[in-house]
Homo-oligomer: A and B are copies of this chain.
Amino acid sequence: MEIIDTSNTKDAEAIEIFKEFLENNGFRKTPERFAILSEIYHRNDHFDAEALYVHMKKSDYHVSRATVYNTLDILSQCNLIAKHHFDGHVTRYEKTYGVPAHDHMICTKCGKITEFRDERIEAVRKDVAANSDMEVTGHALIVYGECKDDCTTGFSPAH
């Protein structure tokens, strides 16, 4: 088990992948889509659609909520972002290109997220695939807990 840091800004490569995906699947290459991708690849947190929408509204490139949701969906399809359901309220996303596969540990008091990698998870996936009638396509492991130091400044979901 190792705690990892996933921050990076490989947006140049991500843009290329996105272009290809759009072309190969008959989608249009609109400036809104690239503006959203760029915004996402400059963040290092686990954001939700609303946070992305609000941040882009303030920035130089305004896009509508509908476009945000639409683009998040396309980016999920081509695996440039991952979708998370840490709780029942909102779907959260994070960039994935250039980021090692990892899982999440989250503090239920303050929302702080720590990312880690553990090769045993991969072994479990293989075993599950072998012992069931299913082809495994993905997984999500979320470890819930509470910070030992006082993290009493309230719950800030995006980390």
Can you list 17 contacts pairing A with B, beta carbon distance less than 8 Å? Answer: A1-B128, A1-B131, A85-B85, A88-B90, A116-B128, A116-B131, A118-B128, A124-B143, A132-B145, A134-B145, A134-B146, A134-B148, A137-B145, A139-B141, A139-B144, A140-B140, A140-B141
Q: Is A3 an interface residue (CB 8 A)?
A: yes
Whether A134 and B147, one on each chain, are in contact in the complex, defined by CB atoms closer than 8 angstroms, is: yes
Flag if B134 contacts A124 (CB, 8 Å). Answer: no
Tally chain A residues at the interface, Cβ within 8 Å: 43
User: Is A124 in contact with B121, judged by CB distance below 8 angstroms?
Assistant: yes
Instruction: Please tell me if the beta carbons of A143 and B136 are within 8 angstroms of each other in the complex.
Output: yes
Q: Is the pair B128, A105 in contact by a Cβ cutoff of 8 Å?
A: yes
A145, B141: Cβ atoms under 8 Å? Answer: no
Chain A contacts with B in 93-148, Cβ cutoff 8 A: 105, 107-108, 114, 116, 118, 120-121, 123-125, 127-129, 131-148
Contact present for A146 and B141 (CB under 8 Å): no
Q: Does A79 contact B (CB under 8 A)?
A: no
